[in-house]
Structure 1
Amino acid sequence: MTYDYDGNGGLLWKVVNGATTMYVQGIIHVGHKNFYPLAHAIEEAYDHANVILPEINVVKPEVNAEEINELALFREGMTLDKVLSPHSLKKLSDILEAKELSLETFRKYQPWYIESILGAFIREKSDLTPEYGVDLYFLKRALEDGKEIIELETVEDQYNVFSSYKLDTQVKMLEHTLQTYNQQADWINQLGHSWVHSNCSSSEKELINIVTNDLKRADEDYQKEMNDTRNIKMVQKLDEILQSESKQTYFVVVGSGHTLIDPSLPSELRDRGYNVERVY
């Protein structure tokens, strides 16, 4: 199916506390060249901002590969073949072999890490790429414009979330990805189309459905850690910034799920007493 990626983008909220202003934009971490420029209201919000607040700075991520590898490995004695069904192992082996990789190379890695590798393969087959991701779009400009960048999380924070899932949750996540592997590139395409046209109510509903289905692919623990807990921690930082009376303008750039699935950033800020205005 061919998708139209020429749209206006969407999902922008505004919070004001005294002379301090904060915009919250729900984005996707992949994108298409036809996305840009985004809607005027969004581009204007970025222009007004002194400080950009992404989940992580994907332009200059501080990655400790050794620590991440340590998190990704099973504890001694456990291997993938002990937790995945024979059917899933065969499917995984076939996918890896198509990439000229061997299952044996990855048998000591936990399911969450294997799923992250498959995610990269899936993105390669889709129309969208991280190169045109909306967070990267704004972060590159922020560096050129000399705007301050403050991360809401770190790479280690995110990997700690992934690695903290119970093994049963990890297995459900990986097996779902393996079972739906051939459909997932098109799901990414649908995500991009829905996001860039999310100023239309039907496309926003499609976007919410895609994000909701992704969060429900394992169990409640997955949604709680992937969305709910992270959102509450991020809002604590945003609340501190709003209360700091810095008189600056902030532009928050987070995945759409963090703005659409309650407890979301907008809903949590409202619960803390702020007037949260939907701008776009």
Structure 2
Amino acid sequence: MTYDYDGNGGLLWKIVNGETTLYVQGIIHVGHEDFYPLANAIEEAYDSANVILPEINVVEPEVNAEEINKLALFSEGMTLDKVLSPKSLKKLSGILEAQELSLENFNKYQPWYIESILGAFIREKSDLRPEYGVDLYFLKRALEDGKEIIELETVEDQYNVFSSYNLDTQVKMLEHTIQTFEQQADWINQLGYSWVHSNSSSSKEELINIVTNDLNRADDEYQKEMNDTRNINMVNKLDEILQSESRQTYFVIVGSGHTVIDPSILSEFREKGYNVKSIY
């Protein structure tokens, strides 16, 4: 299926405390060159901001490969072939062989890490690319414009979340990705289409469905750690900024799921008594 990626872009909200303004932009971390420029309201919100707040700074991420590798490896005596079903193991082997890789070389790695590798293969098959990601679009401009960038999380924070799931959750997530591998690239395409056209009610509803289905592919632990806990932590940081009364304008760029799946960043702000205004 061919998708039209020429649209206006995702969801934008505004929260004000005194003379301090916070814009919250729901994004996706991949994108298409036809996305840009985004809607005038979104571009103007970025232009007005003094500070840009991404989940992580994907332009200059601080990555400790050795530490990530330690997190990714099984403890002694456990291997991937002991936890995956024979059906999933056989299909995973075929997927890796198509990339000229061997399952044997990945047998000591935990399911969450293998899933991240498959995710990279899937993105390569899709129409969308990380280099056109919406967060990257704004962060590159922020560097050019001399705007301050403050991360809401770190790479280590995110990898600690991925690696902290219990083994049953990890296996469910990986086996779902393995068994639906052929459909995943088109799901990414649908995500991109729904995001860039999310100013229409039907596309917004489809966007919510896609990110909700992603969170529902394992169990409650996955949603709690991937969405709920992170949202609460990010709102606590953003609340401190609003309460600082800096009289500055802040532009927050977070994955759309963090803005539409409760407890979302927006619902948490409402719980704290803020007026959350939908801009776009």
TM-score under structure 1 length normalisation: 1.00
Deviations 1:112-153 (A, max 9, x none): 000000000000000000000000000000000000000000
* Match in the other structure for 1:143: 143
Gaps of 5+ in 1: none
Q: CA deviation at 1:10?
A: 2.2
Is 2:23 the counterpart of 1:23?
Answer: yes
* Match in the other structure for 1:253: 253
Question: Separation in 2 of the partners of 1:97 and 1:245?
Answer: 56
Question: Separation in 1 of the partners of 2:68 and 2:79?
Answer: 18
Question: Separation in 1 of the partners of 2:60 and 2:96?
Answer: 29
State the SS of the aligned residue for 1:21.
Answer: strand
Instruction: Give matches, 1:1-280, under 5 Å.
Output: 1-280=1-280
Give the aligned length.
280
Question: Separation in 2 of the partners of 1:278 and 1:185?
Answer: 31
Question: Separation in 1 of the partners of 2:205 and 2:93?
Answer: 36
Deviations 1:196-219 (A, max 9, x none): 000000000000000000000000
State the AA in 1 paired with 2:103.
Answer: L
Would you identify which runs of 4 or more consecutive aligned residues in structure 1 move more than 4 Å? none
Question: Separation in 2 of the partners of 1:116 and 1:126?
Answer: 15
Q: CA deviation at 1:227?
A: 0.3
- Aligned-residue Cα RMSD (Å) equals 0.3
Question: Separation in 1 of the partners of 2:219 and 2:7?
Answer: 34
Question: Separation in 1 of the partners of 2:264 and 2:26?
Answer: 10
State the AA in 1 paired with 2:138.
Answer: F
Q: CA deviation at 1:96?
A: 0.6
Question: Separation in 2 of the partners of 1:267 and 1:34?
Answer: 31
State the AA in 1 paired with 2:191.
Answer: L
Gaps of 5+ in 2: none
Identity of aligned residues (%): 86
TM-score under structure 2 length normalisation: 1.00
